[in-house]
Structure 1
Amino acid sequence: MADDFLDTILVVVPVRDEAELLHGCLEHLQRAMDQARLTRPAIRVHLCMVLDHCRDSSGAVAAAAAAGDPRITLISVDFGSVGASRRAGIADLLKTITNDADDEALLHRIWIACTDADTRVPAHWLTTSIALAESGSDAIAGTVEPDRADLDQELFAAWAREHHRHEGHKHVHGANLGVRASAYRAVGGFDPVPLHEDALLVHKLRRDGFRVLSTGRLHAVTSGRARGRVSTGFAGYLRDLARAPAAREDGQST
């Protein structure tokens, strides 16, 4: 739709002690950013890495990437909260792009793409997001799967039974989530919480009548480790799934 045209993409990635996996995340993101610019040369693409209380070499990895790519910026925070980190990264980029102007038309042309530092997105991640957004979506919930190298065959099969890549799936993953900036601001953005900030945002968007598309056309691979940066979350879900392969499909941020 002409009214849904985008001219700016903002990618936000919270980082908490992910030096080992951050290289792969950045390589895949830069590939997706490059493809977006090839497809739409006029579109602006920016990436903010939000370093949240990092004690490993994540900052050095991110700084090296930023030194070689002017599209990448870094901010350092001490929240210990993925919701607060996502919120801060988005606020930082929006301030830069909009100069704090509360311009609905300007915000409507900006797309916010969220993933995680332990996740690898496909090269078409942004180009497909652009196409789906411009076809009328205010937000897009993609799918993820844990890295098969991190799981045994039985546990991956249990995951696959509970998670499907079909259209209209029930899952919400902060590692593969996009939203139009105007819709994001209208519902108050990510809540500054340590868990389920992704599902809470989608709930608010749906509650307020925004167009949320759940699709398998955007699919990413994330870490399958059983010990994560918080006691629950995605890694906790995998631990529970290992204990009870018949885990329920509940549509939460898993």
Structure 2
Amino acid sequence: MAIPACDEAERIEACLAALAGQRDRCGAPLAETLFEILVFANNCSDGTAERVAVLAEGMPQTVSVVTETLSPDHSNAGWARKRAMDLAAARLIERRCFDGVILTTDADSCVAPTWVAASLRAVGDGADCVAGYVDGHPSELLRLGPAFLRRGRLEDRYLAAVAEIYARCDPRPHDPWPNHRVSSGASLAVTLCAYQAIGGLPPVPVGEDGALAHALECAGFKVRHAMDVTVTTSCRLDGRAKGGAADTMSLRHIAPDAPCDEDIEPAFHVARRALYKGYLRRLFEGTQLAHGQWAGRLGLTDPQAAALAELCNRRGFEEFWRELAKASPVLGERIALRPSDLPRQIERAGMLLRHLRRVPADVSRTAAPDDMFPLSGWFEPEAA
């Protein structure tokens, strides 16, 4: 268990207490030796390490704390998590636990009572990485006011619909519906084997969690976005990482109708993207991807499509998809949405899902996007 912590003396007790009370799904406490906890106290000036040392005396699990001062270039959330997870990996190797799992959460988060058990169960079912579902701490959410809460509820409703659209258009056997589409450092578990295979956590200042999931998928590992692996995290507006979640929440608290994240796009655009991703993945899995089957539909020239097909056959589907989304004028188009746009998009997503739920499984596995949605104009460019 790897927990990066920077000046978290006030919140680390709740984080550790949640880990101390881990249980199986029948309610029995987990064995004390099932997991160890490593707190990486970096660049702290508030006594975080000392607080952890005191709390460790009452913990059923072994708790160790590593104190370091990261250089200015590395003093960020991404590098802190990487260092924490690398230390956890080294500990597993030292103990010769080569089939071990590295779990990570945040020092200002509280995992659910079955978080460890549910994460390990998903790994046992075949996942190489488990991304849990993260929500804000309820009382802290309420304190942010009704406008902020209303925005969050709208976004959550829409993102749930988006996740189902992708699950039906681009089904992944290892990540079945119900699932979600976020990989957050507040709730990740990854096998030591997979972690080593990709060279560890990508060294980026922010967004290291999503970068990890992407690197794993590009390498052919299975990432499960589990709804039964849950965490509540702080909703504070004075975060430790510049450009992180706290900065985003602060902006939305000041301006409740500020634009949504880039990946929240109109429902028809979501469906178009998901349909093509599923269709092209099936082509790739069935044989080597040939560009003649899809180039024209996505606005690519033959040379562009040939180069992308070669990339796909050489580097794998996920890397191909990322580059295709950049090159295609059809897939690359993005329309910014605001929370005030979401009721209309939720309604449209519902219409799309009612159609998708009626499509037989054997048809959805073989159909091209145009066959799945024959209604003309559904995917024409539109304003939000």
Alignment TM class, shorter chain as reference:
0.7 to 0.9
Deviates more, 1:119-128 or 1:56-65: 56-65
Please state which structure has a larger fraction of its residues in helix. Answer: 2
Question: 1:194 is aligned with what amino acid?
Answer: P
Counterpart in the other structure of 2:252: 241
**Does the C-alpha gap of structure 1 residues 51 and 160 become closer, same or farther in structure 2, counting only changes over 3 Å?**
same
Aligned-pair distance for 1:222?
Answer: 0.6
CA contact (8 A) 2:43 2:69 kept: yes
CA contact (8 A) 1:162 1:249 kept: no
Aligned-pair distance for 1:201?
Answer: 0.6
In structure 1, which of residues 120, 123, 130 is the aligned counterpart of residue 120 of structure 2? 130
CA contact (8 A) 2:137 2:233 kept: yes
Aligned-pair distance for 1:35?
Answer: 4.9
CA contact (8 A) 1:143 1:171 kept: yes
- Structure 1 CA distance, aligned partners of 2:32 and 2:13? 27
Counterpart in the other structure of 2:103: 113
Q: Does 2:86 align with 1:91?
A: yes
In structure 2, which of residues 176, 194, 206 is the aligned counterpart of residue 195 of structure 1? 206
Q: Which whole-Å deviations, capped at 9, do the CAs of 1:9-45 have from their partners, x for residues lacking one?
A: xx1100011111111111001112x659956649631
Local SS of the residue matching 1:128: helix
Aligned-pair distance for 1:173?
Answer: 0.9
Question: 2:12 is aligned with what amino acid?
Answer: L
Instruction: State the percentage of identical aligned residues.
Output: 26
In structure 2, which of residues 38, 44, 51 is the aligned counterpart of residue 61 of structure 1? 51
Question: 2:63 is aligned with what amino acid?
Answer: I
Q: Which one scores higher on RCO, CA 8 angstroms, separation ≥ 6?
A: 1
Aligned-pair distance for 1:82?
Answer: 2.2
**Does the C-alpha gap of structure 1 residues 215 and 157 become closer, same or farther in structure 2, counting only changes over 3 Å?**
farther
Deviates more, 1:88-97 or 1:233-242: 88-97
Q: Which whole-Å deviations, capped at 9, do the CAs of 1:54-73 have from their partners, x for residues lacking one?
A: 11121221111223345100
Deviates more, 1:184-193 or 1:80-89: 80-89
In structure 2, which of residues 76, 80, 85 is the aligned counterpart of residue 81 of structure 1? 76
The TM-score, its normalising length taken from structure 2, stands at: 0.56
Over alpha carbons, which structure has the higher Rg?
2
Q: Which whole-Å deviations, capped at 9, do the CAs of 1:104-143 have from their partners, x for residues lacking one?
A: xx53x21111100000101100011111110011111111
Q: Which whole-Å deviations, capped at 9, do the CAs of 1:68-115 have from their partners, x for residues lacking one?
A: 3451001012222222222222232332332287xxxx53x2111110
Please state which structure has a larger fraction of its residues in strand. Answer: 1
| Structure 2 residue ranges without an equivalent (≥5) | 164-177, 265-384
The TM-score, its normalising length taken from structure 1, stands at: 0.83
Root mean square deviation, CA, Å: 2.4
Q: Number of paired residues?
A: 235
- Structure 2 CA distance, aligned partners of 1:184 and 1:204? 10
CA contact (8 A) 1:14 1:117 kept: yes
| Structure 1 residue ranges without an equivalent (≥5) | 1-10
- Structure 2 CA distance, aligned partners of 1:99 and 1:81? 27
Local SS of the residue matching 1:19: coil
